A and B are shown apart, each in its own frame.
Chain A
Amino acid sequence: MEKTVNQRAWFLVLPVFLIVAFSAILPLMTVVNYSVQDTFGNNQFFWNGVGWFKELLDPHTDLGERFLASVGRNLLFSAIILAIEVPLGIVVALSMPRQGWQVAACLVILALPLLIPWNVVGTIWQIFGRPDIGLLGYVLNRIGFNYNYVANDLDAWFTVIIMDVWHWTSLVALLCYAGLKSIPDAYYQAAQIDGASRWAVFKAIQLPKMNRVLLIAVLLRFMDSFMIYTEPFVVTGGGPGNSTTFVSIELVKIALGQFDLGKAAALSLVYNLIILIVCWIFYTVMTNAGADRPAKESVK
Chain B
Amino acid sequence: MARIDLVDLAHSYSGNDAPPESFALKPVTMTWRQGGAYALLGPSGCGKTTLLNLISGIVTPSRGKILFDGVDISHATTQKRNIAQVFQFPVIYDTMTVGQNLAFPLKNRGVAPADIDKRVKQIADLLDLTPYLNRKATRLTADAKQKISLGRGLVRSDVAAVLFDEPLTVIDPELKWQLRSKLKALHRELDLTMIYVTHDQTEALTFADTVVVMHDGRVVQSGTPAELFDKPAHTFVGYFIGSPGMNIIPAQVGGHAARIDGHTIALSRRYNHLPSGAKIEIGVRPEFVDIAAPAPGLLSANIERIDDLGRIRFARVRVGEAKLAARVPPGFSPSGDTAGLVFDPSHVHVYADSLLVEGAA
Contacts and interface: CB of A to CB of B under 8 A. Distances in A.
Contacts of A192: 57-58, 77-79
Interface stretch (A15-23, A80-88, A97-105, A200-208): A200-208
B152 A194 contact: yes
Given A208-B93, A209-B94, A299-B141, A193 B83 contact: yes
Contacts of A203: 95
A296 B153 CA distance: 24
29 contacts: A186-B89, A186-B91, A189-B53, A189-B58, A190-B87, A190-B91, A190-B152, A192-B58, A192-B77, A193-B58, A193-B105, A193-B153, A194-B104, A194-B105, A194-B152, A197-B108, A204-B95, A204-B104, A208-B95, A296-B139, A296-B141, A297-B135, A297-B140, A298-B141, A298-B144, A299-B128, A299-B132, A299-B141, A299-B147
Contacts of A209: 94
B300 interface: no
B210 interface: no
A299 B136 CA distance: 13
A129 B219 CA distance: 68
A205 B138 CA distance: 12
B94 A299 contact: no
B84 A193 contact: yes
B143 interface: yes
Interface of A: 184, 186-187, 189-190, 192-197, 200, 203-205, 207-209, 293, 295-300
B89 A184 contact: yes
Nearest to B59: A189
Interface of B: 53, 56-58, 77-79, 83-85, 87-89, 91, 93-96, 104-105, 108-109, 128-129, 132, 135, 138-141, 143-144, 147, 149, 152-153, 175
The listed residue with most A CB atoms (<10 A of its CB), out of B78, B109, B175, is: B78
Nearest to B100: A204
Nearest to A200: B108
Contacts of A208: 93-95
B140 A195 contact: no
Contacts of B91: 186-187, 190
Contacts of A189: 53, 58, 78, 85, 87
Given A186-B87, A298-B141, A299-B132, 9 more contacts: A189-B85, A189-B87, A190-B87, A192-B57, A193-B105, A194-B104, A299-B140, A299-B147, A300-B143
Nearest to B98: A299
A183 to B, nearest CB: 10
A208 B93 CA distance: 8
The listed residue with most B CB atoms (<10 A of its CB), out of A192, A193, A203, A295, is: A193
